[in-house]
Structure 1
């Protein structure tokens, strides 16, 4: 008869790598919280934007310097700073991978928050705060990964460019867009980029999870409709009242449904979910069958067609005066390759009674749904969530990837987050009481470390 010694019953001693990964997870959470506590609200109006982005950028720069990583802080306007750093890889000839996150967040005014938006409080395992999902969680995570690589002497497979950007929430004019136009040298030899919006888990079926990878994203554009006529007294209606003519055009835009276009990313999504759910996803039944996917449906449905949404109306200033002019602003989301078709169709919809003028126009991005990087993402998810599947999809919004696309950099949206099956991560963007499970940030740190180390 043998007797086990107390030593035999002890918990196995963690390896040095396991200890380092534990530190990485803890730091990803801590840095995310520290960034959330910096009020870096981007109102989109220069006069009302403070120095929050620069304060966040200085924190990032100093934390990188603390572990010996040299980073460049670029501030094209006071308060609008970005930070870029490069870590050399073992195979620089393979091109660099950009990991980027924006440091600005949207406003919180007009929303009712149960927890303070810049408190970064943790309650029952959930981290609350503006930026918890969009997207200081990834900024904190990639910052923690960069520090982890430096501490542990890890050399990634390829060059990594870490970019922490200003102004994404207002189009990236003073952030990613400005850097691409004025400092493309910071992204020399980059071929791929990794950022929002994707990587979060959704129910796939049979108890398995899918992790959505945005291989494409809609373009975003703005346009203005203007109707003009004779000003006059409200008691004497005129046949060319610009308010009436503009209203007809706006109603026509609001009622119009553009045709379904099945892009490569949409088809890749439908194949994966169709196989898992036993759905055919034929054009005739597509939208009805998408409804069976729960909250995922609204995300994918918005990626099926071009959309034009009236958002701002302006006319007159006094009830008894017919104005000489009325305007409407339109938010446009356009699928890859559909720019000219959308312009022509919108012109036809609004008719000749109003003037149509185009504002900013950023075309859609489209990366390869079978790219080698997707296999790296799948490998990282396999290690953390065996049996899960990375599924391409088309993001119906736009990110800073649209700017990097102008440098020939293929952009992918993948912030790995394992969340409860009923939790709609995309629904947290810009919402009150924005929140994320602490465990999801820890999962993100482990998976992102593997992705950036092996990509």
Structure 2
């Protein structure tokens, strides 16, 4: 989507949103939303025993009851993986020449063992102001909100200028087995084609008193890539050691990698993140953030930030770290083989092969073979730009809902399905309006949770912001 022509249009579009935010947060449809959310969360979609297709079918039924026809609803899955279905639902726009906005959320969840949880992980429990269940936050919160929003738009007769496309997908948590977004981009790219996408990847921070402090918008994420280091050797009897030892060679290679720091580099998201974070941080931390903004190669400031928060270091540079080592075949034999896995999180826009070549150069030993492990990818894309058309409405709506909150651009150091979209040339932004306290959501862990108020606020925020985006001019 091209940049907004003038800031005044942002205000106009925001004012044109159909319903005041205060009303949206407590409207009569909240009970219906809670029912939808519960049904989705309590449908097991874990890889071992669940079915995304079942969950997608239940959401499709709710959309059909709201007036969506069969032509606007489809569940897509590979013939050999019928349980991994993705729901695609569309609300056509008034201007068919404009690409739609993609509302993306995955409905699969990480495995959860009942014996490890204090509560049944597949029964939604509301307790002490929180919802608890596997997927309560990651990512069925956004999936439920997007589905609910499409129902509300249809019931209200909202006719967006730019169409809306909902994709509830499967396999985000287990991409090495199957991933809907990757599969659809390879087999049915028109299904996900969009001007831009809104996905998971960013939430909000609460202060110590539970007040919204910072609202994040994610623009870009690091690329996940594993590299295998391998050394082979004839070996021999351990009573007759020789200078050429596979373990020693591998250890030396890992030591050189461990001692190296990739150069720091900013993009739109990280530049915005550290600029805004400096305004929220204690004076000593803020000073280092401003120093690194003024000189990205100020390694002393970067090192202090790293010591304060490893996540800040990860946002500033590509990182590579040894995660697994395997060597030798017997305690009384010289090793014939030694291997290690080095996990790299690569800054967006940098090709994995470039990083591999850097590792080869650092190691400086031809007997250490460095190879890239397979990772589903649609390409390496540059982080999407934070244009006025994207950032402006978020800032305006955030001030309307949470006066005084700071909007903070960010780049994810982990991975979401946005990496596939960005690699395919579809800008994808992480944006939820759902705030967490310092303890977080426990996503992927025990007793996953989300604040009830945060979920309802996110429902109100996403409902409004999508309307604004869908009503914008080019």
- Say yes or no: TM over 0.5: yes
Q: Which is worse superposed, 332-341 or 107-116?
A: 107-116
1:195 is matched with 199
1:395 is matched with 412
The Cα of 1:82 is off from its aligned counterpart by 1.0
The Cα of 1:369 is off from its aligned counterpart by 2.0
Once the two structures are superposed, the pairs formed by residues 115-126 of structure 1 within 5 Å of their partners are 115-126=119-130
CA 1:382–1:128 in 2, change beyond 3 Å: closer, same or farther? same
**Alpha-carbon distance between aligned partners in 1 of 2:39 and 2:382, rounded to the nearest angstrom:** 32
**Alpha-carbon distance between aligned partners in 2 of 1:270 and 1:128, rounded to the nearest angstrom:** 33
The Cα of 1:397 is off from its aligned counterpart by 1.5
Structure 2 SS opposite 1:381: helix
2:400 is matched with 383
2:189 is matched with 184
Q: Which is worse superposed, 94-103 or 159-168?
A: 94-103
The Cα of 1:289 is off from its aligned counterpart by 6.9
Q: Give the one of 38, 41, 45 matched to 1:33.
A: 38
Once the two structures are superposed, the pairs formed by residues 23-422 of structure 1 within 5 Å of their partners are 23-42=28-47, 49-69=48-68, 70-76=72-78, 77-108=81-112, 112-171=116-175, 173-188=178-193, 190-203=194-207, 209-277=213-281, 279-280=286-287, 281=289, 282-283=291-292, 284=298, 286-287=301-302, 290=305, 297-339=309-351, 341-352=354-365, 353-360=367-374, 362=377, 363=380, 365-420=382-437, 422=438
2:95–2:161 contact (8 Å) kept in structure 1? yes
**Alpha-carbon distance between aligned partners in 2 of 1:385 and 1:250, rounded to the nearest angstrom:** 48
2:356–2:370 contact (8 Å) kept in structure 1? no
Structure 2 SS opposite 1:326: strand
**Alpha-carbon distance between aligned partners in 2 of 1:30 and 1:290, rounded to the nearest angstrom:** 44
The Cα of 1:286 is off from its aligned counterpart by 4.0
2:25–2:456 contact (8 Å) kept in structure 1? no
CA RMSD in angstroms, aligned pairs only? 3.0
The Cα of 1:109 is off from its aligned counterpart by 5.3
1:443 is matched with 457
Structure 2: where are the runs of 5+ without partners? 1-18, 293-297, 470-474
Q: Give the one of 440, 445, 454 matched to 1:431.
A: 445
TM-score normalized by the length of structure 2: 0.81
**Alpha-carbon distance between aligned partners in 1 of 2:96 and 2:280, rounded to the nearest angstrom:** 39
CA 1:110–1:299 in 2, change beyond 3 Å: closer, same or farther? farther
Paired positions, count: 427
TM-score normalized by the length of structure 1: 0.84
Structure 1: where are the runs of 5+ without partners? 1-13, 43-48
**Alpha-carbon distance between aligned partners in 1 of 2:229 and 2:23, rounded to the nearest angstrom:** 59
**Alpha-carbon distance between aligned partners in 1 of 2:235 and 2:175, rounded to the nearest angstrom:** 36
CA 1:345–1:202 in 2, change beyond 3 Å: closer, same or farther? farther
